[in-house]
Amino acid sequence: MPSALAPPTPSLTTYLRSLDEAPLDKSITTLISLLKRRQIRSSRSCALATTKLLIRVVEAGEDGSDGKWSSTQALIAHIRTVGRKLISAQPKEIVIGNIVRRVLGVIREVADRDSETVADLSGSEISGPTSPITITGERSVLPMRLSEFSPRDVLSGRPGTADSVASSTFSSPAAAPQQRPNLMTAPTGTSLFSILQHPQTQTRSTSSPYATPPAGTQSPALRPSPTFKSTISTIPEGGESLDIKAEVLDGLAELLDELSVVDTQIAESALEHIHSGEVILTHGSSRTVQRFLLTAAGKKRRFTVFVAELYPNDHLAVHDTLVNGSLPPVSPEDEGLGEKGRWKALTAAGVTVVLVPDTAVFALMPRVNKVLLSPHAVMASGSLLAAAGTETICLAAKEHRVPVVVLAGVYKLSPVYPFDEEGMVEYGDPSKVVGFAEDGRFIDGVDVVNPISDFVGAEGVGLYVTNLGGCAPGYLYRVVGDHYRNEDIELGRD
């Protein structure tokens, strides 16, 4: 007898719940299928699913049985292979590649710390016989008095010049080399160069390592070179001295925490951008924008919000958000919270909300003080990918000199430059624009397209607000450079 309970609809929640139970290969295949079918589609959901899967990959070990990794290079190669599969499953989701690159950066950071640990262990103990450095020639002796050296003497070739002194020194190798006077014995008592390098030399007996060596001592270049005691035996074979798996998992846990608090961190700067009496225009039902507005409303800021409804793709979600509020980031732990897990609607927080069609944006723009947007992804050039209709809003804002503020977490910042702008735009079901049942004859004569996303250049954005703070579009490349390694930008190359 078949079960009366229908199988759960594939979603992010069901996938995250099955990660701990399903085999790793099946989990990878399942996520690829969900991405291709667009059953996981928002930036936050794709980032969370990718991070959880890569954590599972690291935990599985090199042999797939929760073992260890022999080297960081083996782990990097495996992560790149899995990452390429996920990116090819849904190339339009730029966030997937961002998370893969962030994970590779964590692994490379662990490898760098490991190499530093090996170097420290190799140079920590010094013992054994010394082996002096053999020098074929001797350094020319400088004159000790100003009268013995003058540029005029050098030009005239008189005796006592630097050349004559040097030639006399090398012509009589048996002569004992003269020592330069120690500046520490000068009447002042301290070398000026030593003071600049180490000011504490006035109170300590030790002089600067860059100061002139005392009389009767050898120059650092002539000191015997020590031999280091071998400590390689204490390092495991292959040069790995740290627990790669544990170190990488700690770094990925921090990345997971970043995804969970990114909206809260962005909302901390809400009072700097939203003031009482302002009219704000936003687009869609972004959780980031809603948390941003609710934070300002909670501080007794009273303002008005115009919300473009995103017809025909996401207008139902916009309506539900305005009436009932929005859910926090989806995860298995959030289930069972019911209404307690919901954010209250903006109207319940005392905000005046007006739902407007996308076609009315240009007419309303003269009354708007600020535009708030939340994109799908942000390119290193400062351009962005956002919901369809965003480009129209930015053009209208530019025409009326209205500032555009973009709210985006660092995980949305991509090191990729948009060389193919048209290829980055995603298209959806055209039947949402024109139905075949009602207008079949009309559809036969035209090509109907339904863009889901828009590409907006950097000139259409005034300010980016990330979980690290605000920055101009021209400064994003510096933020990107701090979060990605150059060797990981091209994931298609090994």
Q: Which two tokens stand for residue 142?
A: 């400088």
> What separation in angstroms does the CA of 205 have from each of 15, 190, 196, 378?
67, 11, 16, 57
481, part of any domain:
yes
Q: Clarify whether residues 246 and 386 are in a common domain.
A: no
Quick one: pLDDT at residue 242? 53
Report the percentage of the chain scoring pLDDT > 70: 68
What band does 139 get if pLDDT is binned at 50, 70 and 90?
A: very low
Q: Are residues 243 and 315 in the same domain?
A: no
Residue 305 is given by DSSP the state E
Do 241 and 334 lie in one domain? The reply is no
Give whole-number Cα distances, 132 to 9, 124, 139, 176, 230, in Å. 76, 21, 17, 19, 20
Domain limit, last residue, from 201, 220, 251: 251
393 with 273, same domain: the answer is yes
The model's pLDDT over 149-208, given as tens digits with 9 standing for 90+, comes to 444 444 444 444 444 444 444 444 444 445 555 544 444 444 554 444 554 444 444 443
The highest-confidence range among 70-74, 354-358, 418-422, by mean pLDDT, is 354-358
Q: Let me know whether 392 and 247 are in one domain.
A: no
For residue 229, is it within any domain? no
How many structural domains does the chain have?
2
Residue 467 located in a structural domain: yes
Residues 390, 241 within the same domain: no
* Cβ atoms 51, 45 nearer than 8 A: no
The reply to whether 244 and 300 lie within a common domain is: no
Q: pLDDT for 17-45, tens place per residue?
A: 999 889 999 999 999 999 999 899 889 99
Give CA–CA dist 175/185, Å, rounded.
Answer: 25
The domain boundary residue, chosen from 251, 278, 304: 251
Distance, C-alpha 202 to centroid of its chain: 45
Query: Residue 92 is part of a domain; what is its CATH number?
Result: 1.20.120
Last residue of a domain, one of 251, 277, 309: 251
Question: Which tops the pLDDT comparison, 440 or 482?
Answer: 482
CATH of the domain at 275: 3.40.50.10470
Which pLDDT band holds residue 317 (cuts at 50, 70, 90)?
confident
Strand order in the sheet with 384-387: 377-378, 384-387, 453-456
Q: Provide Rg for the chain, Cα atoms.
A: 34
Neighbouring residues of 29: CB distance < 8 A, sequence distance ≥ 6: none
Q: Is 473 in the same domain as 344? A: yes
Query: Is residue 410 one of the residues assigned to a domain?
Result: yes
Residue 281: pLDDT band by 50, 70, 90 thresholds? very high
196 part of a folded domain: no
Residue 275 burial (10 A CB sphere; 0-12, 13-18, 19+) = middle
Note whether 247 and 288 are same-domain residues. no
167 assigned to some structural domain: no
**Same structural domain, 342 and 460:** yes
Burial of 326 (0-12, 13-18, 19+ CB in 10 A): buried
Closest CA to 355 of 315, 395, 399, 303: 315
Task: Kindly state whether residue 412 falls inside one of the protein's structural domains.
Answer: yes
Query: So what's the pLDDT on residue 493?
Result: 64
**Shared domain check, 376 and 278:** yes
Q: Average pLDDT over the chain, rounded to whole? A: 76
Condensed to tens digits (0 to 9), the pLDDT of residues 368-417 reads 999 999 999 999 989 999 999 999 999 999 999 999 999 999 999 999 88
pTM: predicted TM-score of the whole model, two decimal places = 0.72
Coil, helix or strand at residue 442: helix
pLDDT for 98-127, tens place per residue? Answer: 999 999 999 999 888 877 766 655 555 444
| Side-chain half-sphere exposure of 463, counting CA atoms within 13 A | 13
If 0-12 CB within 10 Å is exposed, 13-18 middle and 19+ buried, where does residue 338 land? exposed
Cβ 70 vs Cβ 240: under 8 Å: yes
Do 429 and 331 share a structural domain? yes
pLDDT band at 272 (very low <50, low <70, confident <90, very high): very high
How far apart are alpha carbons 220 and 378 in whole angstroms? Answer: 53
Residue 395 tokens read as: 């053009």
Instruction: Look up the domain containing 484 and give its range.
Output: 268-488
300 part of a folded domain: yes
Whether the predicted pLDDT of 228 surpasses 50: no
